[in-house]
Amino acid sequence: MFRSIFAKYVTAFMSIIIFGFAILLMIVTSIGGNYSSKAKETLMTNTAEMIQIYLNEKMAECDPEDFSAVLNEIGEAHLSPLLESVSGFEADLSVLIADQSGIVCYVQAIEGDVPDKALGKTLPSAITKTLVVGGEVMGELRIESLGRAIFTCAVGVRNADGALCGMIAVCSGDRNLGFTVDNLTQTIVTSAALVLMASLIAAYFLTERTIAPLREMRKAARNFSAGKFETRVRVRGRDEVAELSEAFNQMADSLENLEKMRNSFVANVSHDLRTPMTTIAGFIDGIRDGVIPPEEHDHYLEIVSIEVQRLSRLVTSLLDISRIQAGDRKFTMKPFDICEMARLILISFEQNIEEKHLDVTFECEEDRMQVYADHDAIYQIFYNICHNAIKFSYLGGMLKLRIFYTKEKKVLISVYNEGEGIPEADLPMVFERFYKSDKSRGLDKSGVGLGLYIAKTIINAHGERIGVSSEAGKYCEFYFTLQRAQTKD
């Protein structure tokens, strides 16, 4: 995995850098080439104009036919210092001076090879024709006698009468231009290589920083598969990978809690199955063996019946869980009076309430309050919550049922009792499967931790909410909402 991600980073970085430097190379070489060309053209123009001024002064009083004789008189000794003073920087310049017909009669080079083979040759017709009519030409031409592409700047030499005496052509090759472009290319390529090297190092450390938490998660996942649910990953920084690490640890917490609840559920179910079955088997064997006298048969058969009902409730809860998880339980939605249901449930617990001497308060915003829900499912939830409230209430404590409308046009049902309550640490897990806050089973000897999970699942299926608030040793209050039924005015 590390190599794969590292290869992707490197490929992406190299592609972006190479593409960027290629574009930069084209732009810089183009700008550099244009700049060198402009600078060379300026140098050639200055050189040609300076020689033109010098020769114009010499030819002021001479006839055009005497141009060759004047050149011989001036000689190389006079022109060389002039050319050296004009050259602003080293360049491969060549000066060709021709007579009025364009025949080259003088050649001088500032730098580079002297094109001696141009002597006696004729300048290109594009230059001679233009200069004869009084114009000047400047541009990139090719003098075949030199055998290479050159830049040429040509001007005419005239006497005092304005007659054309000769022509001056300043030529230059592309040697310096190529040298400039090569230097720019070399500089950019070297910079690109350094940036690529730095990018590889950065990609390595960036990949390692990204992969390290993922590698820990992979190791933790393998530990989970081996049953080591206490494994956690370190959280580094505050970026997306850190958020993923936090989410992973939260998932690990949930898995660990689920595993603990599963183990607790297996232990509870095993106990709840073994205890009544042992009781039933013992009493039946006692009746069959004659150990229990006939006059006590009814008493012990009543105990057997109670244990059978207890087993039936356990099996029913397990079947409800299976049906809910499989999505097979269907709800029949219809309007009914929730206040009447509450009254019937309180009446059914009348004996339990009297045994604990509870102070019962029943508050209903209206005598009849219609809700739209599944009647049997809501009865199951309401009954279980009231049963738990009574079972965990203090002797002589308060039991309060309240039903009222909310601002959201819902009906809120609340069951409050004064009793042991639920520890704050246990509140987030109250509605989880197989969870029981009474680990010692001292208060709750019959429950298996499925009732509240079933209640939450049913309420969620209705699109409503269920919650709990409690303070250990003082009180506990469960509440849930239902949709208000539409009534005819």
pLDDT digits (tens, 9 = 90+) for 209-225: 777 777 777 788 788 77
Predicted pLDDT at 440: 45
Rounded to the nearest integer, the mean pLDDT of the chain is 77
Confidence bin at 145 (pLDDT 50/70/90): very low
Predicted pLDDT at 308: 83
- With a pLDDT cut of 90, the percent of the chain lying above it is 17
DSSP 8-state assignment for residue 296: G
DSSP state string for 340-400: HHHHHHHHHTHHHHHHHT-EEEEEESSS--EEEEEHHHHHHHHHHHHHHHHHTBPTT-EEE
Residues facing 138 on adjacent strands: 153
Confidence bin at 469 (pLDDT 50/70/90): very high
Q: What is the dihedral of CA 126, 131, 133, 134, to 10 degrees?
A: 140
pLDDT over 90 at 286, yes or no: no
Report the range of poorest mean pLDDT among 258-272, 342-356, 437-451: 437-451
Q: Where is pLDDT greater, at 57 or 369?
A: 369
Residues 6+ apart with CB under 8 A from 120: 103, 104, 105
Task: Look up residue 51 and give its amino acid.
Answer: I
Residues 6+ apart with CB under 8 A from 340: 368
Predicted pLDDT at 418: 93
Confidence bin at 488 (pLDDT 50/70/90): low
pLDDT digits (tens, 9 = 90+) for 228-283: 777 777 777 776 777 777 787 888 887 777 777 777 667 766 766 777 788 788 88
Q: Quick one: tokens of 393?
A: 């209430």
pLDDT over 50 at 423, yes or no: yes
Q: Where is pLDDT greater, at 300 or 67?
A: 300
Burial 308-335 (b: 16+ CB within 10 A, else e): eebbebbeebeebbeebeeeebeeeeee
Confidence bin at 441 (pLDDT 50/70/90): very low
Q: What is the 3-state secondary structure (H, E, C) of 96-113?
A: EEEECCCEEEEEEECCCC
Task: Look up residue 10 and give its amino acid.
Answer: V
pLDDT over 80 at 442, yes or no: no
Confidence bin at 137 (pLDDT 50/70/90): low
Separation between Cα atoms, residue 430 and residue 116, nearest integer Å: 106
Cα 466 from chain centroid?
Answer: 35
Q: Quick one: tokens of 462?
A: 């209705």
pLDDT digits (tens, 9 = 90+) for 62-119: 555 667 777 766 665 566 666 666 554 455 677 888 887 778 877 776 554 445 566 7
Mean pLDDT, residues 27-41 taken together: 74
* 273, 314 contact by CB (below 8 A): yes
CB atoms within 10 A of CB 234: 10
Predicted pLDDT at 263: 74
Residues facing 412 on adjacent strands: 404, 481
Separation between Cα atoms, residue 63 and residue 100, nearest integer Å: 11
Q: Where is pLDDT greater, at 445 or 310?
A: 310
Q: Where is pLDDT greater, at 134 or 219?
A: 219
Residue 297 φ/ψ region, left for φ over 0, alpha for ψ in the -120 to 50 degree band, beta for the rest: alpha
Mean pLDDT, residues 456-470 taken together: 90
